Amino acid sequence: MNEYATAITCSLLNYGAGMSNKLGVKYLNFTIRDINQYDIPFLWEMLYQAMYVPEGQKPFPREIVLEPFLAKYVNGWGRAGDIGLIAKYNNQPVGAVWLRLFDEANKGFGYVDDTTPELSIAVVEDYRGQGIGSALMREIEDRARAYGYQKLCLSVDPRNPARRLYERYGYIHVGWCDTSWTMKKDLV
């Protein structure tokens, strides 16, 4: 457990009033808390879920997350600079957002510099589009600021609807990594 131990309760009444979901529930109450070591298997799953699959394309094999270019987002979780949050509904994890630093010699897809952590996020499919991702984005920014980070970066395929979420949260397109956008947000 790190210094951000307080669990906060969020209500979708604040984030997505009026939406319905595949579970037939109109509003969800979910909690957000810090990632701990027991969440690491879920984090691997969220890493897999975070990969964008364009329409009509086959899903990636699950083992892909073990490839070094992806595994580095989770491997050895808990090192200096790592910050992560889990959203829970009915005591089950339903989403995660996490920040990790990379460096020039070992860049992430969204790398901008050695002091800017890269953000990764995913929500379990049945729970998407109901405000959980927005709440995670908001909360992780507060954690990042409190930690002393000045900027955040990320990588997104411009066709991914997640791009709209990032733009809403003030991320701007600053470059490309292959076919993906690198986006950055100043926190100060």
Ligand X SMILES: CC(C)(COP(=O)(O)OP(=O)(O)OC[C@H]1O[C@@H](n2cnc3c(N)ncnc32)[C@H](O)[C@@H]1OP(=O)(O)O)[C@@H](O)C(=O)NCCC(=O)NCCS
Hey, what are 18's tokens?
Answer: 């009026």
Stretch that binds ligand X, among 28-36, 78-86, 141-149, 161-169 (CB under 6 A): 161-169
**187 touches 170 (CB < 8 A):** no
Does the protein bind ligand X through residue 129 (CB under 6 A)? Answer: yes
Hey, what are 66's tokens?
Answer: 């073990």
| Among 101, 134, 139, 143, contact with ligand X (rule: CB under 6 A) | 134
Please identify the residue of the shown chain whose CB is closest to the bound ligand X: 133
| SS3 state at 14 | helix
8-11 and 151-156 strand pairing: unpaired
Does the protein bind ligand X through residue 175 (CB under 6 A)? Answer: no
Alpha-carbon distance 125 to 129, whole Å? 9
Does the protein bind ligand X through residue 185 (CB under 6 A)? Answer: no
Does the protein bind ligand X through residue 123 (CB under 6 A)? Answer: yes
- Cβ neighbors of 102 (< 8 A, separation 6 or more) are 72, 108, 111, 114, 118
Stretch that binds ligand X, among 22-30, 76-84, 117-125, 142-150 (CB under 6 A): 117-125
Does the protein bind ligand X through residue 110 (CB under 6 A)? Answer: no
Alpha-carbon distance 7 to 70, whole Å? 29
Does the protein bind ligand X through residue 71 (CB under 6 A)? Answer: no
| Among 144, 153, 156, 183, contact with ligand X (rule: CB under 6 A) | 156
Q: Summarize as ranges the residues that interact with ligand X (CB under 6 A).
A: 16, 49-50, 52, 121-123, 128-134, 156, 160-162, 164-165
